[in-house]
């Protein structure tokens, strides 16, 4: 496993980051605790050291499973978690205010069974809270020793700049990471967001590198996603945004990209997932890539992408087929992520 430095910091993380959104019975694609522990064991056994979770994943079950899975080996794991989404019914039970972040941090520490978080991230931008309050609160967490580094997720380029400026004005702790969506079918961050990260010292910890499974060759044109697939499970949710997100993923362009990924994989004697992950891994500005396996077998298949070097001509083909005439910043979010 290759290790890289996260942003403008000294934090060393594996290029593969184990995403645990699926851990727990309430996940979009649930993975029970026994399998979750096996996945963590296999990931650490492959020399991965970076695990990402969030307080809202499976109503806190994800953090609890991660905490139990790493018990006795906390010092070899870099734990990243996030706060923003509701953790209760009250008006102060969500967002990036001082009161909610303080509550959310204590809850995450308790569920994870640890006294510090390596990378504490704002899960989304909070327009209702001054960014100065958020950055001052996070700086206090770092000074207290409960948090080592801070980052953000799903911020736009301008929001990144605002946050870093707020930290600088106060003489506080800046962000070292951004967690954006990025894949061969979602390249919008190349326009403004990745350049902003480079300028302001943030490494990119990218999510959904397989485009919800589209780039792994799991879906075909005109065929409804199976009920046991991630997109199939999203289709039955009552939220209209979930259906819209699925329909947007399964269009002529994305399926054409997936088909070319499949051709490259066949030529190289590997899998579509490995090719798609290898492409993302080597993109400029990408520090680490989040994979979200539900089984050990899926983990092992994904890890193959971190040992695969794509031939230059294959990279050119994938760049061309996935290039969009409208490379604009990505501001939307995956449902329930």
| Model confidence, pTM | 0.92
Pick the CATH number of 3-322 from 3.20.20.100, 2.60.40.10, 3.40.190.10, 2.60.120.10: 3.20.20.100
Average pLDDT over residues 195-211: 97
* Residue 235: per-residue pLDDT: 57
Gap between the Cα atoms of 158 and 162, Å rounded: 6
- Which range among 79-88, 148-157, 218-227, 259-268 shows the weakest confidence by mean pLDDT? 218-227
Domain ranges within the chain, ordered by starting residue: 3-322
* Residue 336: per-residue pLDDT: 42
* Residue 281: per-residue pLDDT: 97
Gap between the Cα atoms of 227 and 232, Å rounded: 5
Answer yes or no: are the C-beta atoms of 296 and 31 closer than 8 Å.
Answer: no
Does 227 have pLDDT greater than 60? no
Residue 48 to residues 43, 102, 133: CA-CA distances in angstroms?
A: 5, 29, 34
| pLDDT tens-place string over residues 30-81 | 799 999 999 999 999 999 999 999 999 999 999 999 999 999 999 999 999 9
Q: If pLDDT is split at 50, 70 and 90, which confidence band does 27 have?
A: low
Q: What angle do CA 196, 163, 178 make, to 5 degrees?
A: 50
Average pLDDT over residues 143-163: 98
Query: What is the pLDDT of the chain when averaged over all its residues?
Result: 91
Residue tagged active-site, from 3, 57, 116, 149: 57
Q: If pLDDT is split at 50, 70 and 90, which confidence band does 300 have?
A: very high
Q: If pLDDT is split at 50, 70 and 90, which confidence band does 329 have?
A: very low
| pLDDT tens-place string over residues 107-119 | 999 999 999 999 9
Average pLDDT over residues 91-97: 95
Q: Of residues 154 and 324, which shows the higher confidence score?
A: 154
Query: Residue 121 contacts by C-beta under 8 Å, 6 or more apart in sequence?
Result: 80, 81, 82, 83, 150, 151, 152, 153, 177, 179
Cα dihedral 5, 180, 127, 91 sign: negative
Gap between the Cα atoms of 274 and 291, Å rounded: 11
- Which range among 147-151, 227-231, 243-247 shows the weakest confidence by mean pLDDT? 227-231
* Residue 148: per-residue pLDDT: 98
Q: If pLDDT is split at 50, 70 and 90, which confidence band does 230 have?
A: low
Buried residues in 126-153 as b, exposed as e (16+ CB within 10 A)? beebebbbbbbbbbbbeeeebbbbbbbb
Q: If pLDDT is split at 50, 70 and 90, which confidence band does 322 have?
A: very high
Q: If pLDDT is split at 50, 70 and 90, which confidence band does 229 have?
A: low
Q: Is 57 a catalytic residue?
A: yes
Q: Which of 215, 197, 120 is nearest to 160 (CA)?
A: 197
Beta bridge partners of 120: 81, 150
Gap between the Cα atoms of 302 and 15, Å rounded: 12
């Amino acid at each position: 496993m290759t290790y890289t430095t996260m942003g403008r910091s000294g934090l060393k993380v594996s290029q593969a980051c184990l995403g645990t959104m699926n851990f727990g019975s309430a996940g979009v694609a649930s993975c029970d605790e026994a399998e979750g522990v096996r996945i963590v064991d296999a990931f650490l056994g492959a020399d991965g050291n970076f695990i990402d979770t969030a307080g809202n994943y499976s109503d806190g079950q994800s953090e609890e499973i991660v905490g139990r899975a790493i018990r006795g080996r906390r010092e070899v794991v870099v734990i990243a978690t996030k706060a923003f989404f509701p953790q209760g019914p009250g008006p102060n039970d969500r967002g990036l205010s001082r009161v909610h972040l303080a509550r959310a941090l204590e809850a995450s520490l308790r569920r994870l069974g640890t006294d510090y978080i390596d990378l504490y991230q704002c899960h989304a931008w909070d327009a209702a809270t001054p960014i100065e309050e958020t950055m001052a609160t996070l700086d206090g967490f770092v000074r207290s020793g409960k948090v080592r580094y801070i980052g953000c997720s799903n911020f736009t380029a301008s929001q990144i700049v605002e946050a870093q400026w707020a930290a600088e004005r106060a003489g506080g702790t800046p962000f070292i990471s951004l967690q954006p969506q990025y894949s061969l079918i979602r390249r919008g961050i190349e326009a403004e967001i990745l350049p902003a990260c480079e300028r302001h010292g943030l490494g990119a910890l990218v999510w959904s590198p397989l485009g919800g499974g589209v780039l792994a060759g799991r879906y075909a044109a005109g065929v409804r996603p199976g009920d046991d697939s991630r997109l199939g499970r999203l289709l039955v949710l009552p939220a209209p945004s979930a259906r819209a997100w699925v329909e947007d993923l399964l269009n002529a362009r994305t399926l054409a990209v997936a088909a070319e990924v499949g051709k490259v994989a066949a030529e190289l004697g590997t899998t579509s997932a490995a090719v798609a992950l290898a492409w993302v891994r080597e993109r400029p500005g990408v520090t680490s890539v989040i994979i979200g396996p539900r089984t050990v077998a899926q983990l092992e298949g994904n890890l193959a992408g971190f040992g695969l070097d794509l031939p230059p001509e294959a990279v050119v083909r994938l760049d061309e087929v996935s290039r969009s005439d409208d490379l604009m910043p990505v501001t939307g979010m995956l449902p329930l992520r």
